[in-house]
Amino acid sequence: MLTLVTGTTGEVGRRFVPRLLRAAPAGDRVRILVRDESRAKDLAGLTGPTGLGPEIAVGDLRDPATLGGALVGVDAVVNIAASFRGVPDDEAWAVNRDGALELGRAAVSAGVRRFVQVSTNLVYGAGRGRPHTEDDPSVPGGEMWGAYPASKAEAERGLLALDTDMEVRIGRLSFVYGEGDPHLAASLRWAGQWPATRRLQMVHHSDVAQGLLRLLHAPAVGGTPVYNIADDAPVTTVDLHRINGVEVPPALYERTDPDPWNGIVSTDRIRYDLGFRPVYPSLWTARDAGAL
């Protein structure tokens, strides 16, 4: 099997590719799509048990003319590419929705059999007063809503609506951290304003990779192929300050959380369908293992 991975120079992608290579059985190959080949030097030197490193394809989701060559001979795609917070809205839409759909259509034309789209639990939008499940519709709203989750939600809908035999699977990631990812420190940008009791559900890079590998390799499953990928123990605002070595502002203890379930997701589907069990069930487990 030949798998094409996008977004490989980002925080998630550059940690996923080594694990994909290590998990590759004999005969499997990995190809990575990059806009600038010089940025893939670290990944280009990696090898798995087969002794093979990743093939390099130069292209851009925003340039459909480059996608056909990258997809020649490809059996499966893992689309990790994303424009995250802090970018102009039009860039988020161009990459997260338009680029994903261009890649999906090009994959169909190339005869790709399986397409794994990496998404976010922020697509749920407004809270429901309970954990979100994969069957919940996207409801715009909430303080974390914006171009990033909105564009990801539309990409999901567009990919699942493709008229094709290609199997599309969606992995919705919770807040990703670990292995030196600066995302954990950046959490205080939001948590510094939250009520002390507010909770954030997280997922370690190791478990992101585990979840995506299960989506990539598992045989067909029934129902809607959308899966939450998260750990078992959401942390509080106080926990986020503690893990970052920052004092909790006293004012946060006086604030109330109108929906303690906002952003919390159920992982029942991926546990029961695909056998997912977090390597790091909590932030504290990862801390104790030296995996932050």
Q: Give domain limits for the chain.
A: 2-176+204-230+265-278
Give CA 9 to chain center in angstroms.
14
CB of 275 closer than 8 Å to CB of 234: no
Segment 70-74 long-range contacts (CB within 8 Å, at least 24 positions apart):
70/4, 70/31, 70/33, 71/4, 71/106, 71/107, 71/109, 71/110, 71/112, 72/110, 73/2, 74/2, 74/3, 74/4, 74/31, 74/107, 74/110, 74/112
Strand 167-173 to strand 55-58: parallel, antiparallel, or no bridges (unpaired)? unpaired
Residue 242, φ and ψ in degrees, nearest 5: -60, -45
Give CA 52 to chain center in angstroms.
25
CB-neighbour burial class of residue 61 (10 A; exposed 0-12, middle 13-18, buried 19+) = buried
| H/E stretch holding 170 | strand 167-173
pLDDT tens sequence for the chain (292 residues): 999 999 998 999 999 999 999 998 888 999 999 988 777 767 767 666 666 788 999 999 988 899 999 999 999 999 999 998 778 899 999 999 999 999 999 999 999 999 999 999 999 998 888 999 999 999 998 888 999 999 999 999 999 999 899 999 999 999 999 999 999 999 999 999 999 999 999 999 999 999 999 999 998 777 789 999 999 999 999 999 999 999 999 999 999 988 888 899 999 999 999 999 999 999 999 999 999 9
Predicted pLDDT of residue 133: 97
CB of 122 closer than 8 Å to CB of 152: yes
The residue whose two tokens read 């129902």 is 223
The token duo for 276 is 């997912």
- Please state which CATH number belongs to domain 2-176+204-230+265-278: 3.40.50.720
CB under 8 Å to 33, separation ≥6 — which residues? Answer: 4, 5, 6, 8, 57, 58, 59, 61, 70, 81
The rounded distance, in Å, linking the Cα atoms of 222 and 238 is 40
The rounded distance, in Å, linking the Cα atoms of 2 and 21 is 11
Predicted pLDDT of residue 51: 67
Q: Which of 100, 111, 51 is nearest to 76 (CA)?
A: 111
CB under 8 Å to 24, separation ≥6 — which residues? Answer: 30, 48, 49, 50, 52
The SS3 call for residue 244 is coil
Q: Which amino acid is at 46?
A: L
